[in-house]
């Protein structure tokens, strides 16, 4: 990858805790410093290895190798990060994002309880009315720490993947996360502290009380599904496909099927999206168009955990199994369905 592409790849991973390509190696995947003076300390602590992408502020005099210099900030709302050449990344606070103009790549963060409440309000509205916040659907916008906002954590997250060291040398997994240690601590110790803190606190513990986040997520088991729906809508918008609704969010494609359903609590299940004419299914990273009857059969199976009676005939289930197989996917068929469809 080119330096610019590698930079973008690591910044996405650092902001969202998405895994990096390749097998884990020595050192942290992405390490961002707020003060270049900490380069010797993190190097001596073993946090910098062959795979590490180390970023440190450059005041114009250059930074010590192997760090890559940057200007601006990745951690302050309203600030802009630059690699000193041709790449810029804005950082917005969640609550302010609907009123901000997006000029290019942008990370939206929850910086305080006001931001968190705005995030929850948007999710509640999507569930009740099927209306999703426009700024989150922009292809250039990333929501930081999505797993901590939904409670569905990726086991790949942790100090081996990403770290941030503030100006005082305190280290966290995310700039809004609980302090795990200092720049003098090794990866093993930081990993132990991460495990004790838990994924949510490690990502948002510095800006949200644990009980506030826990209660909000407990009462909204659909949040993981909501964020997957945002991703699905964004992928279709990139292809110029607009005006779609998401099954379970405000409505269903199948007449008489309740919007509330078992599928809303499982973000790993396929998502049915539909407009006035076209219907689509998003399963993981795969997107494909389906006919309306197939989409209705699928959403019935997912919303009822397979308890559909005669609403979905066996032959339609078999057709769905074949459809998924053609796309190298496995239909998540509940055990209560006919043996022929499993």
Q: What is the pLDDT of residue 284?
A: 84
Q: What is the pLDDT of residue 173?
A: 97
Q: What is the mean pLDDT of each run of 10 residues along the chain (342 residues)?
A: 84 96 82 97 96 92 88 95 91 96 93 98 98 96 97 91 98 98 97 96 96 96 98 95 96 92 94 95 91 91 76 79 86 51 38
Tell me the C-alpha distance between 112 and 91, whole Å: 14
Please tell me the chain's helix, strand, coil percentages from 3-state DSSP, rounded to the nearest 5: 40, 15, 45
- What is the gyration radius of the CA atoms in the chain, in angstroms? 22
Q: Are 281 and 288 in contact (CB under 8 A)?
A: yes
Q: What is the pLDDT of residue 1?
A: 47
Q: What is the pLDDT of residue 111?
A: 98
Is the dihedral angle over the CA atoms 204, 167, 105, 113 positive or is it negative?
A: positive
Q: Please report, for the chain, the start and end positions of each structural domain, with discontinuous segments joined by +.
A: 3-218, 223-341
Q: What is the pLDDT of residue 305?
A: 81
Q: What is the pLDDT of residue 88?
A: 95
Q: Which of 208, 205, 201, 206 is nearest to 118 (CA)?
A: 208
Q: How far is CA 26 from CA 10, 45, 51, 55, in A?
A: 16, 12, 7, 17
Q: For residue 253, what are its two tokens?
A: 């494609």
Q: Which of 183, 15, 204 is nearest to 113 (CA)?
A: 204
Tell me the C-alpha distance between 237 and 134, whole Å: 11
DSSP 20: P
Q: For residue 322, what are its two tokens?
A: 């074949």
- Supply the pTM of this predicted model: 0.93
Backbone angles phi, psi at 158, to 5 degrees: 145, 180
User: Which helix H or strand E contains 305, and what residues bound it?
Assistant: none
Q: How far is CA 219 from CA 143, 216, 327, in A?
A: 21, 5, 35
Other Cβ atoms less than 10 A from the Cβ of 260: the count is 12
Q: For residue 83, what are its two tokens?
A: 């690699």
Query: Alpha helices of 155-287 — where are they, by DSSP H?
Result: 187-197, 199-204, 210-218, 223-238
Tell me the C-alpha distance between 190 and 204, whole Å: 16
Q: How far is CA 311 from CA 166, 301, 320, in A?
A: 57, 9, 14
């Amino acid at each position: 990858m080119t330096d610019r592409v590698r930079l973008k790849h690591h910044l996405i991973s650092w902001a969202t805790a998405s895994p990096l390509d390749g097998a884990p190696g020595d050192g942290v995947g992405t390490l961002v410093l707020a003060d270049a003076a900490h380069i010797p300390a993190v190097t001596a602590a073993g946090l910098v290895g062959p795979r590490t992408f180390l970023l440190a502020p450059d005041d114009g005099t250059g930074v010590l190798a192997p760090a890559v210099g940057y200007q601006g900030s990745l951690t302050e709302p309203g600030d802009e990060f630059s690699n000193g050449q041709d790449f810029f990344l804005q950082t917005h606070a969640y609550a302010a994002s609907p009123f901000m103009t997006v000029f290019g790549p942008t990370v939206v963060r929850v910086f305080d309880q006001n931001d968190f409440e705005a995030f929850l309000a948007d999710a509640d509205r999507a569930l009740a009315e099927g209306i999703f916040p426009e700024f989150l659907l922009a292809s250039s916008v990333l929501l930081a720490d999505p797993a901590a906002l939904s409670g569905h954590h990726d086991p790949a997250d942790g100090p081996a993947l990403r770290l941030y060291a503030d100006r005082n040398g305190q280290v966290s997994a995310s700039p809004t996360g609980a302090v795990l240690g200092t720049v003098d601590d090794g990866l093993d110790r930081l990993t132990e502290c991460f495990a004790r803190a838990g994924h949510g606190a490690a990502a948002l513990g510095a800006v949200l009380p644990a009980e506030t986040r826990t209660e909000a997520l407990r009462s909204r088991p659909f949040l993981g599904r909501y964020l997957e729906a945002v991703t699905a809508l964004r992928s279709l918008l990139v292809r110029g496909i607009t005006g779609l609704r998401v099954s379970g969010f405000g409505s269903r494609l199948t007449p008489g099927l309740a919007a509330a359903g078992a599928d809303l609590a499982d973000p790993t299940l396929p998502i049915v999206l539909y407009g006035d004419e076209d219907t689509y299914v998003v399963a993981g990273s795969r997107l494909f168009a389906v006919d309306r009857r197939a989409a209705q059969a699928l959403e019935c199976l997912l919303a009822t955990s397979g308890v559909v009676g005669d609403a979905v005939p066996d032959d339609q289930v078999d057709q769905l199994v074949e459809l998924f197989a053609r796309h190298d996917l496995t239909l998540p068929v509940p055990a209560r369905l006919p043996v022929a469809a499993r």
